[in-house]
Chains A and B, each alone.
Chain A
Amino acid sequence: DIQMTQSPSSLSASVGDRVAITCRASQTISTNLNWYQQKPGKAPKLLIYAASTLQSGVPSRFSGSGSGTDFTLTISSLQPEDFATYYCQQCYSTPPYTFGQGTKLEIK
């Protein structure tokens, strides 16, 4: 199975900061990579699919990049509502669908 590793596991940042979360696959997955946002007590929400395509309704301050084994989720200017946990997920070799362990983004 393909393993997904996110870094960092947690991150403290301030409103207005630019932040980046990385995700590494244990083998190449082309651009078959999705990003989800989960707020406390809520279900995950799709942010980005196919590594860089923004889901409808997602603010343009979110962007995704990468291919092969290394991927990045970038938030250009953090807003208060962006503080949440973010998960990457590979959809290249499925099933199984594997997620990263999550990155918790907290307010500094």
Chain B
Amino acid sequence: EVQLVQSGAEVKKPGESLTISCEGSGYIFTKYWITWVRQMPGKGLEWMGRIDPSDSYINYSPSFQGHVTISADKSISTAYLQWSSLKASDTAMYYCARLFYGSGTYNWFDPWGQGTLVTVSS
């Protein structure tokens, strides 16, 4: 079974650093990009960025560039999302998902991780 398992919920203070993880299993990790999506409380889905685990090539959404760092360790089939200095506005659920390419230009996110809730509060 193809699945992505994310690290557990985190409660942090403003200014602290944080890394959350997303481990893939059931498929060849280096063959598919991993993407990250933010969902703020009661809001919709926002694409943050994607990484090719085979060479760690990354694309960021302009909205998140400079605010987060995406990385991956292909030796342990794990992708990461990192903050160096959290803000209260980073409070959200964060999802990773596998970027699947079908025929032609078609692509989609499947499966998704279960989500990691990050709460930033003083």
Contact = CB atoms under 8 A, between A and B. Distances in A.
Interface of A: 30-32, 34, 36, 38, 43-46, 49-50, 55, 87, 89, 91-92, 94-102
B102 A49 contact: yes
Interface of A is mostly: loop
Interface residues of B, number: 25
B112 A43 contact: yes
Contacts of A92: 105
Given A31-B106, A50-B106, A96-B47, 9 more contacts: A34-B109, A43-B112, A44-B45, A49-B102, A50-B102, A89-B108, A95-B49, A99-B45, A100-B44
Interface string B103-120: 001111111111100000
Interface in B2-39: 35, 37
Name the 8 nearest CB pairs between A and B, nearest first. A43-B112, A46-B110, A97-B47, A49-B108, A99-B45, A95-B59, A34-B108, A102-B44
